[in-house]
Amino acid sequence: MPQINPNGLLAGRTALVTGASRGIGEAIAMRLAMEGAKVVITARTAEAGDSKLPGSLHETVDRIRGAGGEAAFFRADLAEAGDRERLVKDAVAAYGPIDILVNNAALNIVMRVADYTDKRYRLMMGVGVDAPFHLSQLVLPAMRAKKQGWIINISSGATRHPKPTYKPSAGNTVYGMVKAALERFTTGLACEVYDDGIAVNVISPGLVETPGVSANGFLSEAARARLQPITWIAESVLKLSCCDYREMSGRIDKAADFIAEFGLTPAELI
């Protein structure tokens, strides 16, 4: 039976996980908590009913605390710089300096480039690029002071260059470019902070059945044959949250390949 190990791999460390009201972020938060991390989570959906999708920050925290773990949540709109600054300030006040930052929050407005409004484009960039960039800036001073830290950015297979197509379902161009920017940011930052003892990596999930994926209509019968367990991404993030920066930084990996390379056995979640 899955449980919290207060003396686990992440005992004494504080993790901040964005987009953790449901889906992949929720799974990551639970897995880090299972290894003893004090977990701070954030999203826009604080309470059940705040969104049309199931899941909330309150429910995620209750699940972790109910299993004996330490967790707190702070609602934030990550597209807003002020919210990002307030989030890190509140997280540090709750549990101390951030040791692990997981930039998981994402937004996917599926729409062709010709139809994209400036407001929607700015929102996509704000959540997917500006937020990871700014949050990293905010946590880096404390990580540098400790000479250790772990930043994990969650990307997507949407970064792959598609073949020219005129299919009506096309509309992931902006999402793909956001995730491509996130990957380039990761490798560049990894170089900049290597001498500070900080690891910066990317992990990409395969197709995972989450409320958001279902709501966007991505689960056709053919797609269901490619579904991967959500525990694969959670286990991969755990590995990257306690790795040696000298051996593992600046990597961009798919969760399935990462699991296979290191022979990881994904744990059942609390």
pLDDT attached to residue 163? 81
Q: Is 245 noted as a catalytic residue in this protein?
A: no
Beta bridge mates, 34: none
| 269 in a structural domain | no
| 9 in a structural domain | no
3-state DSSP percent of the chain in helix, strand and coil, to 5: 45, 15, 40
Range of the domain at 44: 14-262
Q: In what order do the strands lie in the sheet with 100-103?
A: 70-73, 38-42, 14-18, 100-103, 149-154, 198-204, 252-254
CATH number (domain holding residue 135): 3.40.50.720
| 4 in a structural domain | no
Which candidate, 141, 136, 57, places its Cα nearest to that of 102?
Answer: 136
pLDDT attached to residue 216? 54
| 72 in a structural domain | yes
Beta bridge mates, 203: 154, 253
| 208 in a structural domain | yes
For the chain, how many structural domains are there in total?
1
| 1 in a structural domain | no
pLDDT attached to residue 164? 79
Which residue among 121, 175, 194, 245 is the active-site one?
A: 175
| 142 in a structural domain | yes
| 267 in a structural domain | no
Residue pLDDT tens, the chain, 270 long: 899 999 999 999 999 999 999 999 999 999 999 999 999 999 999 999 888 888 999 999 999 999 999 999 999 999 999 999 999 999 999 999 999 999 999 999 999 999 999 999 999 999 999 999 999 999 999 999 999 999 999 999 999 988 876 565 578 899 999 999 999 999 999 999 999 999 999 999 987 766 655 555 555 565 555 579 999 999 999 999 999 999 999 999 999 999 999 999 999 999
Helix (H/G/I), strand (E/B), else coil: 160: coil
Beta-carbon neighbour count of residue 122 at 10 Å?
A: 12
